[in-house]
Structure 1
């Protein structure tokens, strides 16, 4: 497996991957929604505000994840991990965890202090994420499933309590993702 950061040239294959994976697991409507989100993120991937990591096997994409910058009033380097997709045929084999580990190391190398995500606590706990109260770090928009709000310090210190509600990248600034 080859892991690497992707640029805007990967937009079509990344969007197709997310549409396919989410259509298979969550239904066609959710597949279109998340595929559209992935397309919007990939089109703006700049390796700073929006970072896309891809996993390839035999030259074909088998997984992709996004890290997007969150901007707080407080001075803190923070990112959000979402969405994540691994092709159905490659799920359960550690590819998702490998991509996340690769991406977290990239963020540490860039001196990011923390990462949050919004998803399945059982999966994300395997890569170091812990339940996160909005009393500590607020989500950019109201959460429909608060138990899925998770965080991880990248500095080795406890997550800081941040009072401000962060701004997310434009593609995520829609209630249907929360």
Structure 2
């Protein structure tokens, strides 16, 4: 298996991966929603504002993750990890963790200080994320499941509070994702 930055030429294959994986786990409607989100993220986000990574096996993309800026008035260098998909037949083998760690190391080399995500605490805690109170860091929209707001610092042992609102890229700027 190879871990690599994504190639924009693979947009269709990546969108299909997310659609298939989320359809398998959450139902066809959710699969379409996440597939469209990924397409909008790849096609509507400035190249310099999007870091995507893929896991490839036998020339087929079996996993993908994306990081996009989470901005604050304070100018803290932060990114949002979302979404993540590993082909259903390859889940449970540690591929997601390897891919996330690969991406985090890449962002760390680029000087990124903070990474946040909104998801399953049991999964993301395996790669260094911990619960973040919205009193510490406010999410871009009201959270349906506050227990899923997670973060990690790439420069300190703890995340220091940041006052004010956070802002995400356009693709995520819909309350339905939060």
Same-fold call, TM cutoff 0.5: yes
How many residues align? The count is 178
- TM-superposed CA distance for 1:157, in Å, is 3.7
What is the match of residue 170 of structure 2?
170
> Which consecutive unaligned segments of at least 5 residues does structure 1 have?
none
What is the match of residue 148 of structure 1?
148
CA-based RMSD: 1.1
Alignment of 1:64-83 (within 5 A): 64-83=64-83
Quick check: 6-15 or 31-40, which moved more?
A: 6-15
What is the match of residue 90 of structure 2?
90
Question: Secondary structure of the equivalent of 2:48?
Answer: coil
Output one character per residue of 1:34-53: Cα deviation in whole Å (capped at 9) or x when no partner: 00001111224655311111
Q: Distance in 2 between matches of 1:137 and 1:60?
A: 37
- Find runs of 4+ consecutive structure 1 residues off by over 6 angstroms: none
What is the match of residue 115 of structure 1?
115
Residue 23, structure 1, aligned to residue 23, structure 2: yes
2:55, 2:99 within 8 Å by CA — same for their partners in 1? yes
- TM-superposed CA distance for 1:131, in Å, is 0.5
> Which consecutive unaligned segments of at least 5 residues does structure 2 have?
none
Residue 132, structure 1, aligned to residue 132, structure 2: yes
Give the 3 Å change call, closer, same or farther, for CA 173–138 of structure 1 in structure 2.
same
Question: Secondary structure of the equivalent of 2:135?
Answer: coil
Q: Distance in 2 between matches of 1:46 and 1:57?
A: 28
What is the match of residue 59 of structure 1?
59
Output one character per residue of 1:5-27: Cα deviation in whole Å (capped at 9) or x when no partner: 11321210110000000000000
What is the match of residue 4 of structure 2?
4
1:66, 1:81 within 8 Å by CA — same for their partners in 2? yes
Q: Distance in 1 between matches of 2:119 and 2:148?
A: 5
What is the match of residue 37 of structure 2?
37
2:121, 2:130 within 8 Å by CA — same for their partners in 1? yes
Q: Distance in 1 between matches of 2:164 and 2:6?
A: 31
